[in-house]
Amino acid sequence: MMRILYVEDDLRDVDLLKRELAAQMPEINVDAVSSLSQARAALAAAQHYDLALIDLQLPDGSGLDMLAEIRYKALPLAVVILTGRGDEQTAVAALKTGANDYLVKRQGYLSRLPLVLEAALECFKAEASRMEQPLKVLYAEHNPVDIELTRRHMIRYAPYIHLEVVPTAAAVLERLTKDAESGGTVDALLLDYRLPGTNALELLKLVRQDYNLDLPVVLITGQGDEEAAIQALRLGANNYLTKQSGYLFQLPAALEDAYHRVELLRNQASLQESEERYRRLAENAQDIIYRINMFPERHFEYVNPAATAITGYTPEEHYADPDLSYKLVHPDDRHLLAQVAEGKLLPDQPLVLRWVRKDGKVIWTEQRNVPLYDKEGTLIALEGIARDITERKEAEEKLKSNYALLNLAGKTAKFGGWSVNLAENRVIWSDEVAAIHDKPAGYSPPVEEAINYYIPPWRENITRVFTACAE
């Protein structure tokens, strides 16, 4: 719920606003006061407000005074200024003083109010987030007046931008060298074009070419230096401003824009590098890695090269035939796919199937699929891994055959065999051993019970030998 402190002395306006917000945004709670003094008392109370909506003209002062107090005390709330007709210039001044937005009281303004309030609150939260992560800017400027004006402006209007001032290009390079050695860093460079000695263009070339740094760079030029600024953009500057009236108000946005654009490029490069790394892993994997899009039409989006070695079909053949994943499955195992589709077998559980290779050879495979759904719950894709387990299945079949022969020999010779499953602490008896102990075929007693079948004098020795083997 958004809590709003509405500072307005016109009771009709208060009533109309409350009615409009109740209709459009019933989750908003509005407390109305009619003067600056009442607003100060409300803000001093324990209750918390998310936003102050302040009329510009009040009985005991200006809404700008309230705005200034809120920002001076660093109260954590957004501020929207309401103005009458003809007060637009004052409203713009309010924005410069720290208001998050303003709204002119003209026909239909109340219908726009909910959007303005939500946008102002989001703007305030974004600014608060920026305050928690200050932007460290190395500012190269030799003019004391420009330095002082820029510092004062940042402290007042963009306190999250921290300026470190150096007078020359040499001092910039020295600072960057120290950063490289210590692991510290600045977030952006702000360069005046006319630096003593090495100018900003030469410095920019050194930063980009010799130091190989991708730091965001904003250039400040004087009147008549626009051509130099364009040249700076070609050399890798991210933005430039001309020293004309109001340029300091553009400066925070220019620095932030340059910083975020460079961060975006860095993130894109990192993502691309990560994608390339995982692609190399997938390309060199021995198992088949794949993605099948199910919507709007079923088709292979990706199949790695291992498909050729395992199935005989190339990735390109998989892309060309969306039904190849079904055709590969042995006819006697296709009912398992139907069970998966019907939900009788979970799609994310291991699925063992026989496949028929391109050369006609039958192989055993084990698949693990991860289903992907959209927000409506529609299955849109399957991502999975399939591996050839033919050797494992053949070994299992051989083991079963040997076990059957062992049981047959045991029954014939009246002897049995047993093994121990340490994970379950259980002894696995052959059918003949179970029969010797008058137990049903397939009986597997716990280890303690099995040892108790020995006569008492032997139990201690058996326990000791068993424990030694287990360890």
In tens, the pLDDT along 286-326 reads: 999 999 998 888 899 999 999 999 999 999 999 999 999 89
The span from the CA of 52 to the CA of 468, in Å, is 77
Contact 449, 426 (CB under 8 A): no
Contact 64, 56 (CB under 8 A): yes
Which of 316-320, 402-406, 416-420 shows the lowest mean pLDDT across its residues? Answer: 402-406
Q: Which residues contact 449 (CB under 8 A, 6 or more apart)?
A: none
Contact 75, 55 (CB under 8 A): no
Check residue 405 and give its pLDDT. 59
The span from the CA of 211 to the CA of 138, in Å, is 16
Which of 307-321, 361-375, 439-453 shows the lowest mean pLDDT across its residues? Answer: 439-453
The span from the CA of 191 to the CA of 209, in Å, is 17
Cis peptide bond upstream of 296, omega within 30: yes
Check residue 360 and give its pLDDT. 95
Check residue 168 and give its pLDDT. 94
Say which residue, 264 or 185, is predicted with more confidence. 264
Residue 402 has pLDDT above 70, yes or no: no
Check residue 228 and give its pLDDT. 80
Check residue 397 and give its pLDDT. 76
pLDDT band at residue 333 under the 50/70/90 scheme: very high
Residue 462 has pLDDT above 90, yes or no: no
Check residue 146 and give its pLDDT. 94
Pairing of β 161-166 and β 362-373: unpaired
Check residue 87 and give its pLDDT. 64
pLDDT band at residue 30 under the 50/70/90 scheme: very high
SS3 379: strand
Q: What integer best gives the mean pLDDT of the chain? A: 86
pTM: 0.54
pLDDT band at residue 347 under the 50/70/90 scheme: low
Residues 29-57: what's their mean pLDDT?
Answer: 90
**AA identity, residue 175:** R
pLDDT band at residue 410 under the 50/70/90 scheme: low
Q: What's the distance, CA 4 to chain centroid?
A: 32
- What would the two tokens of residue 90 be? 């004052």
Check residue 143 and give its pLDDT. 93
Q: pLDDT > 90: what percent of the chain?
A: 39
Q: Contacts by 118-121 with C-beta closer than 8 Å and gap 24+?
A: 120/51, 120/78, 120/79, 120/80, 121/2, 121/50, 121/51, 121/78
- What would the two tokens of residue 75 be? 């109260």
| Sign of the four-CA dihedral 436, 439, 444, 449 | negative
Residue 60 has pLDDT above 70, yes or no: yes
Check residue 96 and give its pLDDT. 74
Mind listing the pLDDT tens digit for each residue in 225-260? 678 878 888 888 999 898 888 899 899 989 989 998
Check residue 31 and give its pLDDT. 92
Check residue 348 and give its pLDDT. 62
Count of all residues that appear for the chain in the document:
471
Strands (E), 91-150: 101-104, 135-140
208 DSSP 8-state letter: I
Strand-pairing partners, residue 138, are 164, 189
Check residue 129 and give its pLDDT. 79
SS3 128: helix
Check residue 414 and give its pLDDT. 63
- What would the two tokens of residue 404 be? 């059957």
pLDDT band at residue 27 under the 50/70/90 scheme: confident
